[in-house]
Chains A and B, each alone.
Chain A
Amino acid sequence: MARFGTLNTAWMVWDNPAPAAEGAVLEYTRELEKFLAEIERRAFRIAQVALRDADDALDVVQDAMLKLTRSYASRPSAEWRPLFYRILENGIRDLQRRRTVRKRVMAWLPGPKEDPDNEAQDPLENVADAAPAIPERLMQAQAMQKLEESLRALPKRQREAFMLRNFEGMDVAETASAMACSEGSVKTHYSRAVHALREQLGEVW
């Protein structure tokens, strides 16, 4: 009888696999959403520092999210972060290349030049920030502004290594995976970046 009971249970599991599968999909979607929600703002700021443009940064982050969910969501969740940042860095690099080409072409073409400040503004951008602009906050914003300028002056790989290690808090192995290079290279790039930034910012920072 016990044997029949086991068979019966097994048959029920075979016959109705949907609830378990649905639960797994739901759990997996939640995990993916949690990951993206946790990472999106930092990713946006990293892209913004590199691209100096909020709209471009948003586009690149959205593309990275789409590519991750479409192509790599089935990978273990521990791999998502380095994968996401690799996609993001590739997107940033592509956009920078396109900008360079566009700039060269526009320089040769007659007619009015493209003015990035003349683009249509999103009305939500003018919504006031809830936090008060106290002096300390202003000073921090200025310090961050200087750091961003110094970061843009760094070689790309050094900038990537610094932002992933310092801003995103990734360890050496994760950074190496995101940058598609060896751990030794990450250490070298990061060390040079810190040295160069300290020299540039120096006393005033």
Chain B
Amino acid sequence: MNEDNDAFEMRSRVLFQDSVEGLDFAVRSRLTQARNTALDAAATRRPWALGWKMWTPAAGVTAAAVLGVALWMGSPLHHQAATLAEAQSNFEDLDLLAASDEGSPDALEMLQDDIDFYDFADKAANPGPAA
């Protein structure tokens, strides 16, 4: 049985090999073209496209950055920070306004006028004994 199998295997192998040897010119030519195309494709492959492994770290960093920004934009911390920044800005505006009023010559002049007026009003209300 084994010998029969061996003979059968040998015969089928020889027949196949004969059929390979008997391939016509057209097929052989197209196979050569296919081989050259494959080799050209391998040779002209650009260095930056060498493989997915090269881009993995960059893609990972980008994905992490995008995820981080997205999480931060959607979190309550972002809104709280915005409110605090707005309040601080208003306070600074008031402070600046107050500082500019106090430091200007007009403000000092007005303050001087007020003192004279209050002095006059006090004397008019409480006339003292004639000296």
Contacts and interface: CB of A to CB of B under 8 A. Distances in A.
Interface in A35-66: 36-37, 40-42, 44-45, 54, 58, 61-62, 65-66
B38 to A, nearest CB: 4
Given A41-B20, A41-B28, A166-B9, A29 B38 contact: no
A131 B27 CA distance: 15
Contacts of A167: 12-13, 16
Contacts of B9: 166, 194
Contacts of B41: 66, 69-70
A61 B9 CA distance: 25
Interface in B39-88: 39, 41-43, 45
Interface size class of B (residues with CB under 8 A): 20 to 34
B16 to A, nearest CB: 5
A127 B27 CA distance: 11
Contacts of A32: 39, 42
Interface string B18-36: 1110111111111100110
Given A129-B24, A140-B18, A166-B13, A41 B4 contact: no
Contact of B19 (A131, A141, A169): A141
B35 A36 contact: yes
A125 B23 contact: no
Chain B interface, DSSP helix/strand/loop, else mixed: helix
Nearest to B35: A36
Identify the interface centre among B18, B20, B35: most chain A CB within 10 Å of its CB: B35
A69 B38 CA distance: 6
Contact of B16 (A62, A166, A201): A166
A40 B15 contact: no
Interface string A132-175: 00000100110110010000000000000000001101000000
A70 B8 CA distance: 38
Given A66-B38, A144-B15, A40 B31 contact: yes
18 contacts: A32-B39, A36-B39, A37-B35, A44-B27, A58-B31, A65-B37, A69-B39, A69-B42, A70-B45, A129-B22, A129-B24, A140-B18, A141-B19, A147-B15, A166-B16, A194-B5, A194-B8, A197-B12
Interface of B: 4-5, 8-9, 11-13, 15-16, 18-20, 22-31, 34-35, 37-39, 41-43, 45
